[in-house]
Each structure stands twice: as C-alpha cells, then as structure tokens.
Amino acid sequence: STQVNKRYNIVLVVLDILIQKSYIFLLLKVAEMGHVKVMEKVAYAMLFGDFLPQSIPQAKAIFEKLALEGSPKAQTVIATALVYYTFGALGGNLVAQMILDLVPPRKVDLMTCLSYVSRGSAVQRTRLLDEVENPGSSSGMLEEDLIQYYQFLAEKGDVQAQVGLGQLHLHGGRGVEQNHQRAYEYFNQAANAGNTHAMAFLGKMYSEGSEYVSQNNDTALHYFKKAADLGNPVGQSGLGMAYLYGRGVPVNYDLALKYFQKAAEQGWVDGQLQLGTMYYNGIGVKRDYKQALKFFNLASQAGHILAFYNLAQMHATGTGVMRSCHTAVELFKNVCERGRWSERLMAAYGSFKEGDMDSALVQYLLLAEQGYEVAQSNVAFILDQKGSQIFNENETYPRALLHWTRAAAQGYTVARIKLGDYHFYGYGTDVDYETAVIHYRLASEQQHSAQAMFNLGYMHEKGLGIKQDIHLAKRFYDMAAEASPDAQVPVFLALCKLGFIYALQYLQDLNLKELLSQVDLDQLLGPEWDLYLMTVIALLLDTFFILRSIHCSQNYF
Ligand SMILES: *[C@@H]1O[C@H](CO)[C@@H](O)[C@H](O)[C@H]1NC(C)=O
Ligand SMILES: *[C@@H]1O[C@H](CO)[C@@H](O)[C@H](O)[C@H]1NC(C)=O
C-alpha cells in the first residue's frame, strides 16, 4: 500500500502543478474521464471561483456525484466546506464561533505572528494528534504499520483500539481519511462492550451531525448522560456543552459549569477549556480572569491548542496578567508549530519573504480553499498590495474583497475593517458608505476594534453613510481611545479637530454667522485644512512622544 500512497501523492503534486499553471482545461478533460481526485479539485476550484469562474451549483453537483460514489472527501466537503464558507458568519462553525466568543482579538500589532496562526479548523485537526499517543517517530511508514496494528487489535475485539480508530476516522489524519461511518461503527462496537469513552464519542457524533449520522440532540444527550453517569469526563463535558448551548435541554449555566468542573477535575482538557471560557466571559459565574488563566494553563499543559491561543491572547492584551509580548509570542509560536498545515503556511510565508508573490499567492490560495482564515487574509493582503501578477488588474480588488469577506466571516477583525474600507473607497465594488458603516459597526460591536470605532467617529463627524453628529463622533473617538492605548494618539488628534469644529459652531452661535459665512475655510486654509491642522498637532505630539519608548512592537520574530 506504500506503492499506492506514492502514486496518490504524485497525482496530487501533478494536480497542484496543473492548477498552479492554470492548465484548467487539462483538468477539465481529466475530470470528464471521471478521475475522482481531479473531479474534487475541479469542484473546489468552481466552488471558490479560484482559477475557474465560480459556480457553486456546478461545484455542488460534482461533489454530490462524488459523495454518492463514496468519496469521503466530497462527503465532508458538502458537510463542512459549504457550511464553513456560507454559514461561517452565522455560527455554522462551532469552533470558529467559540473562538469568536472567547477572545475578541484586539491588537493589530500582533499581525506578524497572527499571520501564522489559523483558527477554526486547525484546532480540530491538531487536537487529534494530542489524543492519539505518539510513539516517538512519526514517519509515514511507521504510522501505517501502527494503524494496521490497531486494526488488527480492533478486529480481535480490543476496545481501546476500537476507540482509538474511531477517533482517527472521526477527524481524519495520520494517513486515515475521515470516515464517519467507520468511526461510528468502531465507537458502536466499543460502546456495546461498555466503553464509556465510546459512548461519549457517539454522543459527540450525534451532537455535531454529519452526512452519515444526522444531528440529533436527544440521542446525543442520551449518550452523554449514559457516559457521564458512569463518570466519563468526555460525557460530562458533552453534557456541559448541551446545557451551555441548550441542545436538547433548556440552557442552564449552573449545570454546564458543574459538568465542566467534573470533567476538568478528571483532567479532561475540553472541560478545562470550557471552564476557562466561562470564567473569562463571566458566563454562569462572576468574571474572573485569574481563574480563566488557571484553567487555560491546565488545558495548555495537556497540549490543547486553543488553550495556547487563549493564553497568548491574554498575555498579548494584558488581560488578567501583566502584558507580555514576549510570552504571547512564545505561546503563539506554540500554536503555530502544532498545526499540520503549518508546513504549507510556512512555505507560503517563505515565498512571500523571498518576494515571490505569485508563488506565495498560489500557496495561500490553496490553503484558503481549505478554509484557513489566515490564508484567506493573506491572499487578500497580497492582492490588496498588488503584489502578484497572476490576476488581471481589474480582477485584483474584487478577488481581494472576496477573500476579505471569507476571512471576516470567520471573525478576523482586520478583514472586517478592510471590508468597510473597500466599500468606503470603492475598491472592487461601488462606493457605499452605508455598507462601510455596517462593517465598521460589526467590528466595533463584536470585536471591540478601536480602528472601527475611530472610523465610525469619523463617519459621524463627516456625515458619511450616517447622520452627521458631532456628539456621537466624539463618543466613538472616546471609545476607540478606551479600547486601545494605541488609538490614543489618533483619537487625541481627532478630538482636537472636533474641538476646533466645536469652537467654530460656538462662534456661529454667537451671531458671527455673517462674518464666518464670508470666510470660506476651505479657501482660507486650503481644501485639506483639517489634515494640516492634524499634522501640526501631530508634529507637536511627536516631539512629546519621542522621549517615551513605545511598547513592544519590535522584535516579534
Ligand atoms: C439542537 O439544539 C440546537 C440548540 O438549541 C438547535 O439549534 C438545533 O436546531 C437542534 N437540533 C435539532 C435537530 O433539533
Ligand atoms: C477587465 O475585465 C474584462 C471582463 O470583465 C476583460 O474582458 C478585460 O480583458 C479585463 N481587462 C484587463 C486589462 O485585463
């Protein structure tokens, strides 16, 4: 079977080359011959409109055909990829949503590191690595042997092996393709033999739902309860989730907390992570960053990647701990290095560093297809900077807009603000202040972005897309300054300018209207007078700030 694997890999490489070189007509030809892998690629390309005109119906048709023929990839694509992209913003992806709820990213100055960190699917992938014990080497050959050995044991009725294989098939990885049917069968066998872990995982499968096992809260609850009653932490954690999100039961934060606590006490990382989250957000308990830190720390010791991520965010923003960029970066690196996708990301980043934008773009595009938000953002970024020649000039902004949209749907604040900017300036779309306001609002309300608040202040000040309102403008400026220390300087400038406008209005109210009406400010001071004013103030401030060493934005990598 190594032979088969080798051929399989070669096919993949050839396909990637075909795609990179845009030999899409060749792909189409091969696809017509019914080659499964090629059909998958073509369907992907159609789905995301990369290299091919986007056609979701056509893509869907191909995937459905493949799924009927039993291609597990196509089956999961329909279940996950479409949901991921189409409904990502609506909470279709639980993990992405969870992270959104958990830590609204605030600081933009961690961009460099964050550009390595993918959220969402990365978590699902890597967690499995931690669950299956790793006997030293991880070369492909050994893994294959190991899997076969597990299969041998499972057939002999070894319950542990059945559970392990169930987990492997549930998530896919280590050379095992995701296959919910097989996962279900393994878990079912083990559960019938009385294994509580398997019962809990059956609960998970029903809770999450898939092509093979349709989502069913009641059945999920039944299995979770059964496992939890027998003291299984996975079941307890599952029950906690059911109570937290009201799946099959009314929402009950107290009970959720209780079950997470039980699971955490037994060292189950999901329970620890959820407890941390509840303390972090003050759900069902009083908000307590110290406790949150404690549980995230515990979960991170077990290698939970999301815990590393949360810890990094807390250290980066100084939440519950002294702000420490150094620690944050170490933690972020930890996250970065765990993902299986990291190699590809690193390679893409390498190309980017070397200035080979075309290659970087293609690699990021492929990763973006798989739903990695960071890759989507980077695709948009490269296009935004006009770094690559791959696409026609007039396609650049629309494509960038598309990828910002996808990244924003996954909760990436900067992408959300970019969407606002694109509509504000009319990049890749018509100028549309109202839509810009909508995006800035989202970024401001959901992610507490100082930048977005600032922009809203500006739009209120100028009356762009919303009613002109100097008072509201001031409020947004103040909020921005409060949300981030980094916003304080621009906010100060904007407020100075507002003060100036105030003064003018005041003068007008003093019946100096006539005098003022003769003075056309734009004529007197030039059309950009407000910018000049701000520049003067900025220069004054600059001399002021030069003495202060400004925090830790240097030395990230
Ligand atoms: C399960 O519960 C969730 C949360 O209340 C709900 O959104 C979902 O529709 C339920 N699933 C089914 C199949 O009823
Ligand atoms: C711009 O887009 C149109 C299609 O909308 C295309 O026909 C044209 O070649 C493009 N222009 C350039 C300069 O690429």
Give the tens place of pLDDT for each residue, 335-382. Answer: 655 554 556 677 777 788 888 888 888 778 877 766 677 888 889 999
For residue 139, the 8-state DSSP code is -
For ligand 2, atom 10, the nearest C-alpha belongs to 394
Q: Which atom of ligand 2 is nearest to the CA of 394?
A: 1
In terms of DSSP H, where are the helices of 140-195? 140-155, 159-171, 180-192
Q: Scan for tokens 């306001």, then name that residue.
A: 437
Q: Which of the ligands is closest to the CA of residue 396?
A: 2
Q: In 433-469, which positions are buried (b, 16+ CB within 10 angstroms) versus exposed (e)?
A: bebbbebbbbbbeebbbbbbbbbbbbbbbeebbbeee
Sequence length of the chain is 557
Residue 37 contacts residue 73 (beta carbons within 8 Å): no
Residue 156 contacts residue 142 (beta carbons within 8 Å): no
Give the tens place of pLDDT for each residue, 122-162. Answer: 322 221 112 222 333 333 444 567 777 788 888 888 888 89
Reported for 45-51, long-range contacts at CB under 8 A and 24+ positions apart, including other chains, are: 45/19, 47/77, 47/81, 47/82, 47/369, 48/85, 48/368, 48/369, 49/402, 50/365, 50/368, 50/369, 51/19, 51/22, 51/24
Q: Which atom of ligand 2 is nearest to the CA of 392?
A: 14
* Ligand 2 pocket check for 394: Cβ under 6 Å: yes
Task: Tell me the CA–centroid distance for residue 233 and ligand 2, in Å.
Answer: 59
What gap in Å lies between CA 446 and CA 410, rounded to an integer? Answer: 12
Q: Which of 217, 249, 251 to mutate to test the pocket of ligand 1 (most atoms within 8 A of CB)?
A: 217
Task: Tell me the CA–centroid distance for residue 205 and ligand 1, in Å.
Answer: 14
Q: Which of the ligands is closest to the CA of residue 206?
A: 1
Task: Tell me the CA–centroid distance for residue 254 and ligand 1, in Å.
Answer: 20
- Stretches where the chain sits below pLDDT 70 are 1-35, 37, 46-57, 68-144, 173-175, 333-344, 369-371, 486-490, 497, 499-557
Q: Which atom of ligand 1 is nearest to the CA of 245?
A: 4
Q: How many helices (H) and strands (E) does the chain have?
A: 32, 0
What gap in Å lies between CA 130 and CA 304, rounded to an integer? Answer: 8
User: What pLDDT, on the 0 to 100 scale, is given for residue 136?
Assistant: 33
Task: Tell me the CA–centroid distance for residue 398 and ligand 2, in Å.
Answer: 12
Residue 476 contacts residue 457 (beta carbons within 8 Å): yes
Give the alpha-carbon dihedral of 487, 489, 492, 497, to 10 degrees: -110
* Ligand 1 pocket check for 406: Cβ under 6 Å: no
For ligand 1, atom 5, the nearest C-alpha belongs to 247
* Ligand 1 pocket check for 217: Cβ under 6 Å: yes
Task: Tell me the CA–centroid distance for residue 394 and ligand 2, in Å.
Answer: 6
Q: Which of the ligands is closest to the CA of residue 397?
A: 2
> Which residues, 6+ apart, have CB-to-CB distance to 52 below 8 Å?
24, 42, 45, 46
User: What pLDDT, on the 0 to 100 scale, is given for residue 110?
Assistant: 33
* Ligand 2 pocket check for 393: Cβ under 6 Å: yes
Q: Which of the ligands is closest to the CA of residue 394?
A: 2
In terms of DSSP H, where are the helices of 385-467? 393-409, 413-425, 433-447, 450-462
Task: Tell me the CA–centroid distance for residue 250 and ligand 1, in Å.
Answer: 11
Task: Tell me the CA–centroid distance for residue 248 and ligand 1, in Å.
Answer: 7
Residue 203 contacts residue 190 (beta carbons within 8 Å): no
* Ligand 1 pocket check for 247: Cβ under 6 Å: yes
For residue 80, the 8-state DSSP code is I
* Ligand 1 pocket check for 91: Cβ under 6 Å: no
pTM above 0.85, yes or no: no
Reported for 512-515, long-range contacts at CB under 8 A and 24+ positions apart, including other chains, are: none
For ligand 2, atom 11, the nearest C-alpha belongs to 394
Of 441, 437, 371, 436, nearest in space to 406 by CA = 371
Question: In this structure, what token pair is assigned to residue 419?
Answer: 């969407």
Q: In 89-113, which positions are buried (b, 16+ CB within 10 angstroms) versus exposed (e)?
A: beebbeebbbbbebbbbbbbbbeeb
User: What pLDDT, on the 0 to 100 scale, is given for residue 393?
Assistant: 85
* Ligand 1 pocket check for 245: Cβ under 6 Å: yes
Tell me the one-letter amino acid at 550: I
**DSSP SS3 for 273:** helix
What gap in Å lies between CA 167 and CA 190, rounded to an integer? Answer: 12
Question: In this structure, what token pair is assigned to residue 111?
Answer: 């961009």
For residue 549, the 8-state DSSP code is P
User: What pLDDT, on the 0 to 100 scale, is given for residue 133?
Assistant: 28
> Which residues, 6+ apart, have CB-to-CB distance to 395 below 8 Å?
none
Residue 349 contacts residue 375 (beta carbons within 8 Å): no
Q: Which of the ligands is closest to the CA of residue 389?
A: 2
* Ligand 1 pocket check for 55: Cβ under 6 Å: no
Q: Scan for tokens 């998970």, then name that residue.
A: 204
Q: Which atom of ligand 1 is nearest to the CA of 214?
A: 13
For residue 284, the 8-state DSSP code is S
Residue 290 contacts residue 260 (beta carbons within 8 Å): no
What gap in Å lies between CA 290 and CA 345, rounded to an integer? Answer: 34
